Amino acid sequence: MSDLALLTEAFHRNGRVNEALLNTLTEEDLALSDGQGGLSVGQLLEHLFGMRKVYLHRVGSTYAEQITVETEEGDQPFWPVTLSTTQLRGALAEADAAVLNAVQDAAGDGPGFQNYFASHPAQLLVLTLIHDANHRGQITTLLRQGGRSAAALDQLARATWPIWRD
């Protein structure tokens, strides 16, 4: 398997992990926060989506235009959550497709990325994987602090970790 094929597979698995997490959340979970000024679960999830669009713009890709979903996230540190769990599933899927298309085209015969990921366009996939994992950890912590039982968190782990071991 080529390096790009391996990273593409990991990127697809990351999307499945995000979907599995979203499948365990209620709309009320989106409001959970640390009470100390940190982002809520909903804001973290909208941020996962939003950063895909931001990085596509930064690499000079027109693929960001394929992402039709909008959120209130911007230059402000906090914003009102506007997407439901169902909408977040769709937004992440749409953004993932745009990122993957951009990387595959830039790695092939398409135009390369400007200023970012000069070593290889697939670095965008790596960045997204790391970024998502970081914020999923924060979301899990907020769920625990918000009263999610150990059994429920264990069920979430059983739904997500096997995706990486297939």
Beta-carbon contacts of residue 57 (< 8 Å; ≥ 6 apart): 64
Q: Is 131 annotated as ligand-binding?
A: yes
Q: Is 57 annotated as ligand-binding?
A: no
pLDDT of residue 93: 97
Which residue is associated with the tokens 């995706």?
163
Whole-prediction pTM = 0.92
**Across 68-77, 110-119, 121-130, which has the greatest mean pLDDT?**
121-130
Q: Is 120 annotated as ligand-binding?
A: no
pLDDT of residue 24: 95
Q: Is the distance from CB of 106 to CB of 112 less than 8 angstroms?
A: yes
Spell out the domain ranges in the chain: 3-23+38-165
Least confident range of 55-64, 98-107, 124-133 = 55-64
